Structure 1
Amino acid sequence: MSSSQPLRVVDDAVPDSEPEILLVDPDRESRAILCGMVAPLARIAEAHSGEEALRIGVSSELAAILIDVHLPGEDAHAIVTKLRRHHHGRNVPVLFLSAEEPDWITERRGYELGALGFLMKPVDANELRAKLEVLLTLHRRGAELRRRERMIAKQHTEIIQAKAALEQASAANRTKDLYLGVLGHDLRNPLSAMLMSARMMLMGQTLGAKDRESVLRIARNGERMAALIRDIIDYTRGQAAGGIPIIPRRANMGEICASMIDEISLLHGNRKIHLERAGDLVGEWDRERVEQVISNLLANALTHGVGELRVTATGSTDEVTVAIHNTGKAIPAEQMATIFEPFRQGSNSGGGLGLGLFIVHEILRAHGGSVDVQSTAETGTTFTTCWPRHAPKLQGART
């Protein structure tokens, strides 16, 4: 490896300004010569005394220490001994410098302190650089390993935190499923029984005008509550599954529209709903979901519109369109862009959650279709749904 281009693996936790080599020599000229040899390899800190060497050594992660044996005051062995007591200096390689051949006692004391060897002055530049290149390579690789260790530890912590968050989310999801079960069974089932009883009473001829109005009020509020429960369940399941599940089967769109008009007219006998049918209206759709769309749009038209409603079902070659029209105030322009987003309520929402039109949009999307709205004060409001004659195949089970 070239002495002018040593391996540079830098610990990003150690600033580039922090020294890698500590050079301790009381002689200024000697320090200058040694710096000239070492500077191409590493960052250098100079010290002219043992006290200054201690101050630098205990505050820096060093690759090596070059220290003259003969220092004023405490000798080099005593300084290295003190450095070894500090965690920064405990394992730093040390090369002793000497202008004269050390005796065996000096050498023994140096090696007992973990010295790698003694270099005689004047120091051979190639020998010094060769030793330092190895030490710098080990130091920088060690720093890189420590950096990676910290990164792995951080990632491990993040994994543990993510796992804990996932467990919390799973627990929350289980709680959500429990609540959905309560909504789906403990609320929806008795509510269905109540609505069925109310419808049977309305279909009979035994109720007086006053009693009929009371039963109508019960049925309307029950339908509103059932729609709220259904929308909450569909929204939650749709968010979890990435869309509302559908099960397409052969169905007649005209018959579905007629059935939903008959059902909703029972509760709104004072409002006329006119149905027009044209073309082939048979296709493959999820009948329950189509009924949900027609029901939501009819309820929306009855809530926000006035007078007669018009429903038009038209079959073309590849699709069937259903348009529901009502007269009355136009939808404000500022609401048009977000009308199919969840939890968006109109000025006369009737106490809903603002999920009805969002559910309509999601059911059409699941069928590969679309829904559009046009609204003006002159012509009224029309929601147009486009249903491809053959919806995507089984999208998931529904309970």
Structure 2
Amino acid sequence: MKLSSFITRHMEDILVEWESFARTLQPAGSEMSALALRNHARQILHAIALDMDTVETPSQQYQKSKGLAPVAVGAETAASTHGALRHLSGFSLTQLAAEFRALRATVLRLWLPQVKALSEDRTRDMVRFNENIDQALAEAVATYSQKASRTRDTFLAILGHDLRSPLATLAMAGEYLARAETGNEQTAAVGIRVRRSAATMNTMINDLLEFARSQLGSGIPVSPQAGDLGQVCRWAVEDIGAAHPDCRFEIETQGNLECRFDAARVQQLLSNLLNNAVQYGSNGLPVLLQVAAGDSEIVMRVRNHGSPIAAESLAAIFDPMFQLAATPDQRDRPRTSLGLGLFIAREITLAHGGRIHASSDAYTGTEFIVILPRR
């Protein structure tokens, strides 16, 4: 009997096995109804049987074996819907994959005893069946992963938004305590520390929200206006200097820095690069910001001295949540660092139509170079 015909005729037997296995996937499976456990399994099997009876070219066969079979734009397959619903039901990605592994084993275990001779046609049946299982698994995993990522990023966005109100109260308390008329020098010192901590937390929340926005597909918005980039660079150095009074900053500008850019975003970009330079630079050595204007582009360089960054780390340094290991000669990083600053710096640069890259060696130090069009 052809495998596709076997699947259609013995659908219920296969579904019973599917349901039984799904119920063993704890904790989600134990509390679900039979209908929920069988979720889209019948449609998946029907789609597999139908495809196995469809003529297929060698190219289509190869693509399907890689889980790359084309899907109509806007269409949602039974397997992809199954992946989304398993995510909502609390199944792990490993458990989702296990369902398809068990389905493959179940169908072959029930069908093979009825095969009298393993002919070329029956071998082809098994190949086509395995291709379809691989394709269905790929579709289910892709949708599950998309739902998981969106849930995580939405949670981060909500968390960041809800933290703003108590943080504003904390910042106000710091401002009040720092006033000379509020108390004594000790009280003022406490206020300054509270204010500084609130500023650090605000930066983290902003990074968190920018990351969530970029992952949810909206990107980081920019509103370019004509302005003086040199002035924005000075503001960024002043702000970071206030946050790190023990660190020395140097700024060098060259040429006409009038151009079109989003001042707030570029200041955020520079603040992230300068803060990174402070965290990973050697104590006692300055952080340098150089800005040079060309005919069509403006180049900004942020350089610090310290232990060189390994090539493999440089390749991933702009990835979200990536953090370098601290070395003894580097300043302690804030424990609350999220590893999002360089990722956001890259996103702001790209939103301006610019480029960013990093280099590092033991002689010249670590340098981040941002190139923005003058527009």
Tell me, yes or no, whether TM beats 0.5: yes
User: Is the contact made by 1:246 and 1:289 (CA closer than 8 Å) also made in structure 2?
Assistant: yes
1:162 aligns with 2:80: yes
Q: Residues 3-14 of structure 1 correspond to what in structure 2 (within 5 A)? A: 13=4
Q: Which of 354, 366, 377 is the matching residue for 2:351?
A: 366
The structural deviation recorded for 1:300 is: 0.7
- Tell me the distance in 1 between the aligned counterparts of 2:183 and 2:307: 35
Whichever residue aligns with residue 357 of structure 1, its letter is L
Q: Which of 339, 361, 369 is the matching residue for 2:317?
A: 339
- Tell me the distance in 2 between the aligned counterparts of 1:233 and 1:384: 25
TM-score (norm 1): 0.53
Whichever residue aligns with residue 310 of structure 1, its letter is L
1:350 aligns with 2:334: yes
The structural deviation recorded for 1:297 is: 0.8
Moved more, 294-303 or 332-341: 332-341
User: Is the contact made by 1:254 and 1:313 (CA closer than 8 Å) also made in structure 2?
Assistant: yes
User: Is the contact made by 1:371 and 1:385 (CA closer than 8 Å) also made in structure 2?
Assistant: yes
Question: Aligned residue for 1:303?
Answer: 279
User: Is the contact made by 2:178 and 2:187 (CA closer than 8 Å) also made in structure 1?
Assistant: no
Which structure: greater strand fraction? 1
Q: Secondary structure at the match of 1:373?
A: strand
- Tell me the distance in 2 between the aligned counterparts of 1:318 and 1:207: 54
Find the structure with the greater CA-based Rg.
Answer: 1
Question: Aligned residue for 2:295?
Answer: 317
Question: Aligned residue for 2:265?
Answer: 289
Q: Which of 364, 369, 375 is the matching residue for 1:384?
A: 369
1:151 aligns with 2:50: yes
- Tell me the distance in 2 between the aligned counterparts of 1:293 and 1:148: 50
The runs of 5 or more residues in structure 1 that have no matched partner are 1-9, 16-146, 391-399
Whichever residue aligns with residue 356 of structure 2, its letter is V
Question: Aligned residue for 1:226?
Answer: 202
1:180 aligns with 2:157: yes
Aligned length: 248
The structural deviation recorded for 1:189 is: 4.1
1:260 aligns with 2:236: yes
Question: Aligned residue for 1:54?
Answer: none
Percent identity of equivalent pairs: 29
Q: Residues 42-53 of structure 1 correspond to what in structure 2 (within 5 A)? A: none
CA 1:258–1:206: 2 relative to 1, 3 Å: farther
Deviations 1:43-73 (A, max 9, x none): xxxxxxxxxxxxxxxxxxxxxxxxxxxxxxx
Q: Which of 222, 241, 245 is the matching residue for 2:217?
A: 241
The structural deviation recorded for 1:220 is: 3.4
User: Is the contact made by 2:153 and 2:215 (CA closer than 8 Å) also made in structure 1?
Assistant: no
The structural deviation recorded for 1:310 is: 1.6
User: Is the contact made by 1:238 and 1:245 (CA closer than 8 Å) also made in structure 2?
Assistant: no
CA 1:320–1:303: 2 relative to 1, 3 Å: same
Whichever residue aligns with residue 353 of structure 2, its letter is G
Provide the alpha-carbon RMSD of the alignment: 3.8
Deviations 1:371-396 (A, max 9, x none): 12222222222211111112xxxxxx
Q: Secondary structure at the match of 2:216?
A: helix
